[in-house]
Every structure is written in structure tokens, then in C-alpha cells.
Amino acid sequence: MSDQSVSRADSALGCQDLTKSFLGVRAVNGATFEVPRGQITALIGPNGAGKTTVVNILSGLMKSDGGTMHLESTETTNWESEKIARLGLMRTFQLSRELGGLTVLENLLVAPHDQPGEKLFNIFFRPGRVTKAEKAHVERALEVLRTYGLYELRDSRASDLSGGQKKLLEISRAVMAGPKVLLLDEPMAGVNPALIERIGGYILDLKAQGVTVLMVEHNLNVVEKICDHVIVLAEGRTLATGRLSDLRENKEVVSAYLGEVIDAGAIS
């Protein structure tokens, strides 16, 4: 099934017939979708639908068994994650993966690509360039930390942060790298309602800055509020794509996912 609603030209990220098996179990089974550029897209589906696996494949953390994918106009099928990241795709993780031994500020300072101070030669022979770049990065990192409300925590050890703060740290670290496409794997999971509101606001701000966002999300209230476009995965393949309100009419989607959520009372 190909995605009719978004043309390849308008797509920042997409995949065609992705497959991935774990010990014979097909986690991803022909997922095909396009993520519209400059919009916020939700990737939803029941547990075990393969959402995280798809995100892992798109970000290069895992290799697919079959299928193709692209980032903007570049074919990125089975590229290393560092190469995909350098093309402008940043991601966060379902379970926060902060760099625990580093401070909050250092977590952000790691993010910029091609820092002069990462080269041995520059450290000893072009210290001026290193200092200048470092100064600029520190300024930018502090600005990002202010935006995300982590400024006061800049010198804390990242592993000492609370769960919600770690979620914010992951997003701000990804933002620090200046992404074109941002993959957020359940950015609101296990987060208190006030912070959900805040994170939703941050994601809308990123959209306003031109960042394309693909987020795995279970909270349909959030999806309804901030997402322009929805991709429904079930049993490893794309069940439907479109606006959430349209998908509510789709019987297949309702029986596979929305019905389940409605039963659980998650939709008000």
C-alpha cells in the first residue's frame, strides 16, 4: 500500500515496504508512509504494532530486512545512524537515554556536528578556533536550556534529573543539533499533565521554526491538539494515514486501535 495523501515531493521522511523480523516474529511487515515536511505527524497503533522498531530503523539504530527509506531526497536505506543524524535527523528515545556522567549543559554541548575542538590537531594548534566555536556553542546551549526550562539545572549531573526533566533534556539535546526532522519516541510517556502541556507547546514551536516532527504517541488528546497528520500502524504495516478526525470514521482503524482506546476511556 502506498501513501496517497502525501506526495514524495512534500515528504521529509518516508519508507516503502519496510520489514524487520526478530527471531521469526515479524515486527515490521511492509510499513509504508510519507511524513509531510514542516508538519507534526503522529505514529500511532496498538502495543506491538512496530512503532518503535520503525523509528529505530528510520534513525539507523536498526537495520531493516527489506524495504527502502529516504530522508528528504536522499535514499538512506540501512545507513549508519551517525550518517543519518548528520543529514539532519535527530531522535529521542522511549526510555530516556541521557549521557549520565555529563552535566546537563555538556549533554547539549555534545550535540553540534563537526566541532573544531573535536579534532586533536585543532586542540593543540588552533586553540583560538576551538575557544571561539565553544563559546558560540555554550551561548546557544544556554539559550536552548532557558527555552526548555532547564537553565537552573545546567550544572547538574544528567543522571540525577527526574524522569520529566530527562525527557526535556533529550528534546533540547536533539534541538541543539539543529535538526530538520525530529523523531520523538513517546515524548509524553510517564510525564505529568502540566509538563505534557509544556512539551506540546515546545513541539508546536519547533514546527513554527520549520522542523518536521514524527512522534510516537498514545495520548490521543495530544495527537488531536498538535498533530497535523496521523499514521496508524498495526501488526507492522500501515493501516491508514490522514487526519485523526477522518480516521475516527475508518472502521479498520477503530477496530484495530481506536476502539481499544475508547474502551479504555482514553478519549474524552
Partner 1 sequence: MSAFWLYVFTLIFFLFDYFILAMGLNIQYGETGILNFAYIGFVAIGAYMTGAVSMPNSVGTGQHYILGLNMPFPFNLLVGGLSAMVVSVLVAFIALRRLRTDYLAMVLISLSLVFYDICNNYVPLFNGADGLYNVPSPLAGVLHLTTNSFTVVFALLTGVISLIMWWIMSRITRSPLGRTLRAIRDDDGVAAALGKSVFRYKLTSMMIGSFFAGIGGGLIIQFNTSFNPSAWLPGETFVVFAVIIVGGVSNNIGLLVGSLLVETMLVHLVAFLPAIPGHPGLILNIAAMMIGALLMVMLWFRPQGIVPEKLRRSPAAVAAATTSTDYAGIDEGVSHE
| Chain contacts with partner 1 (rule: CB under 8 A) | 59-61, 80-82, 85-86, 90-91, 93, 97, 99-103, 105-106, 109-111, 113, 115-120, 123-124, 130-131, 133-135, 138-139, 142, 146, 149-155, 157, 162, 164-165, 173, 177, 192, 194-195
- Would you say 16 or 96 has its CB closer to partner 1? 96
| Phi and psi at residue 196, to the nearest 5° | -55, -45
Provide, rounded to whole angstroms, the least separation between the CB of residue 100 and partner 1.
5
Question: Which pairing describes strands 25-36 and 40-44: parallel, antiparallel, or unpaired?
Answer: unpaired
> In a 10 Å sphere around its CB, with 0-12 CB exposed, 13-18 middle and 19+ buried, how is residue 116 labelled?
middle
| 58/65 Cα distance (integer angstroms) | 13
Task: Provide the edge-to-edge strand list for the sheet that holds 229-234.
Answer: 89-91, 181-185, 212-216, 40-44, 229-234, 237-242
Provide, rounded to whole angstroms, the least separation between the CB of residue 92 and partner 1.
9
Provide, rounded to whole angstroms, the least separation between the CB of residue 262 and partner 1.
30
CB 96 within 8 A of CB 191: no
| 104/26 Cα distance (integer angstroms) | 38
Provide, rounded to whole angstroms, the least separation between the CB of residue 123 and partner 1.
5
Provide, rounded to whole angstroms, the least separation between the CB of residue 38 and partner 1.
22
| 89/69 Cα distance (integer angstroms) | 13
- Would you say 24 or 193 has its CB closer to partner 1? 193
Q: Three-class SS of residue 53?
A: helix
| 17/28 Cα distance (integer angstroms) | 9
- Would you say 26 or 119 has its CB closer to partner 1? 119
- Would you say 131 or 255 has its CB closer to partner 1? 131
CB 157 within 8 A of CB 99: no
Provide, rounded to whole angstroms, the least separation between the CB of residue 176 and partner 1.
9
- Would you say 195 or 215 has its CB closer to partner 1? 195
- Would you say 106 or 235 has its CB closer to partner 1? 106
